Chains A and B, each alone.
Chain A
Amino acid sequence: MEAIECDLMIVGSGMAGMAASLFAGQRRIDTVQVGVTGEIQFASGLLDLLGVHPITAGSAVQNPWEGIRQLAKTRPNHPYARLPLGTIRTAMETVVEFLNQAGLPYFRCADRNLRMVTPVGTVKPTYAVPETMAAGVRALEEKWQTLLVDFHGFKGYSALQIKETLRREWPGLRTLRIPFPGLAGDLYAERMAMALHRPENRRQLAESIAEGLGGCRAVGVPAVLGLYRPQEVAAELGDRIGVSVFEIPTMPPGVTGLRLRQTFEERLPDMGIRTWYQQKVSSVRRLADGRFRFELDNTISAKTVVANSAVLASGRFFGRGLTADRSGIRESLFGLPVVQPSSRDQWHHRDLLNPSGHPINRAGVEVDSHFRPLGRNGAPAFSNLTAAGSILAHQDWIREKCGSGLAIATAYGAVQQAISICAAKKKQPPVVG
């Protein structure tokens, strides 16, 4: 079977892989992207840049750009510290603009983190929220009289829990539980979202909410307002009810992650990216001319991709970019060295919520200033391989609340490097490295 040839191979289809494909596509790089659905399916839809720093103090970051500047000073190994602030801004700007154009618009304030309600009633600092959540940010900020709606059979989401937990900060909350139009029994977010693409279900939902509205100025519902163009569903409900309707993230996996995934999956091929989702790279080999030869595998077919350069955005343990057994942590595909604690008893604290974060979360692939993973001798392992996203060492995206920003910014850095390699290759014959 003939091998597929490309300039750039992107391994991974989480936020980092998707962003890398977007950046490569915009620069018209001949790109193949491969990956199984990973973390993005579990995304809350919120785009974090930097929410907490320093994590030991648990301090919420007001201005994320200023926060990143501080972080880069105190943690010079952090992947953010490898990029000028302006580059991080450009990367973030590009993705948000793309999502706006693609029909999944986002809301943000230029230099200030937003505060968004979570399904357990806490408030999370984040950089940007889907437009469907924007009214919720404002309602919380201005303490509007707001009606929180939930549904019979939709477990893990209780309006009363959110209201009670927020009682002190947001006293103007009321709750309403109603049946979900057209569905009964155990409800799942994806099916509910699909059901709301039927006009009669939207009408019925608006009626039930309007009946219980009382004097409220806004209505908060779980994030199930459609899989496609949810802002239009929210707007229609708002028009019918007469007040703003906003979404609150649900327990993962919800539709917020699905929307992101779909938006990328639909748009990237239009930009010329050859995408093979639900396919896994089973092995990679470096050819004598320095190119990488990837073997792709799924149960139906096998493919081979030969690439001039590659971006490794395969994620951590959940995404299987890293694997661990009792003796240690390995990088799954290239066998790159992994920076890690000296022994397994150092991986995790005994307390889940230890404020300093679990040391294993800072394990990962070490890169140079061009996002090239380092080999055992401390020099770049391959001149034409870069890495991006949560696989990188020296960050704790969970505790720092920087998952999307880290993925997007490092993808930008990694693709820039790949582009310069491709450009150099075009000028001179490949060098065996």
Chain B
Amino acid sequence: MTLSRQEIAARVAQDIPDGSYVNLGIGVPTLVADFLPEGREIVLHTENGLLGMGPAASAEEVDEDLINAGKIYVTEVPGASYFHHSDSFAMMRGGHLDYCVLGAFQVSVNGDLANWRTNSPAAIPGVGGAMDLALGARNVFVVMDLFTKTGQSKLVPFCDYPLTAAECVDRLYTDHAVFEFKDGEIRVLDLFTEMGVDELSRRLGVPLMDIRCEAGAS
């Protein structure tokens, strides 16, 4: 059993505490908003100048001046605020944003992130706010499938794809397991696959520390 994309998003949402300021990237990270637990006040940031982003806008709610970073019409919640781009990125770079959740092509064993371009010569490069978020947010959570469609691990000794930022990933949420990058180790916080930690470690070619009991007790 491995997790679906919705289930991974729900697993990330559990780890975002009450009172957090959070930026959710495009794709699976966006789904995290649907699973934030009831009763927690969590303020969503969108890089194009809004704190207090609400859900996607219904047809009646669409305001042409109100979109998110993925260019989707969204809503504002009571308590929202608007600001210009320099302020928006000062919130990241200045370490004010508590969490960001980003997608990835690859993550390396020392927490390097590659998520903005592949090596395809036909690909149009576009970085957006990924580099600013990866270095600026206090906690960088990455969401991805652990293996490519052809079965290659995306948790790699070194990223082949161009880097977004070095040593920036705090936690990696995948369909097989949740990993934490800490003190030069990769710790398994949660395991969903039928593979044990040892087998997963062999399959990835990466040493893993199983700390699930401790994590469960905390």
Physical interaction between A and B: no
